[in-house]
Structure 1
Amino acid sequence: MTTKVLIVDDEPDIDRLMRQRLRRRLRSGQIELLSARNGVEALNVLAENADVGVAFCDINMPNMDGLTLLDRLRSGHPSVRAVMISAYGDPLNRRSALGRGAIEFLTKPLDFRQLERVLDRLLAV
């Protein structure tokens, strides 16, 4: 079964790198990747793709930040398992994200092996 994974980040390189790193899973049909540049775009993508299973969300983005998006996911899309990503891995951001329902908190620069382990765990559920 294919799981839809949403990448929400205002840095185009993050989307490109994640697609490159996860290409084997894409080709096999294990996942389908969707993208958004900010929280507002992410909510629009979710309105058209109610079956998104996992979202990797940056915290610092224009228009709607990742923590606000996380609140909106909890209230409007509770089945989406959110993994927060930030260049600012300070304890306050981490606690805030996990306290708002994030499954995991990753820091930039991304360790793609760690990202894949997190994704494996979420796909196994």
Structure 2
Amino acid sequence: GEFFIEYQPLVHLGDGTVHGAEALVRWCHPQHGVLGPDRFIPLAEHTGLIVPLGRWVLEESVRQANFWQERHSDGGPLRINVNLSPTQLHHPRLVAETVDVLERSGLEPGALCLEVTESALIGADDDLLKPLRQL
């Protein structure tokens, strides 16, 4: 596919150890080259493709984090940070799909950090925040 994930290391400044990574989705566009999320996420949200794209990012990121943890079991737990768009927050199956991905991967739930932009939470009511509280 044209989408891929880059992993930005999360480094402890005190001792330089890596304690996780942030998953950053990219689009390798056939004509425009590699595009960052600011160039295609709004389009994905508008077309509704953000939900399957977001699930793919979650699945791949959790799979990768589990692989890293299995390979480096001598260190502490590694965390994987995955961004959620405002549209994904409204998706009724967000909690069920996230739990499903975690259960199938075997990754400890505490190793997953879902990131939400501040703008997505401005004016948020309890209905919007409920899925985050459940997770």
Instruction: Give the TM bin, normalised by the shorter chain.
Output: 0.3 to 0.5
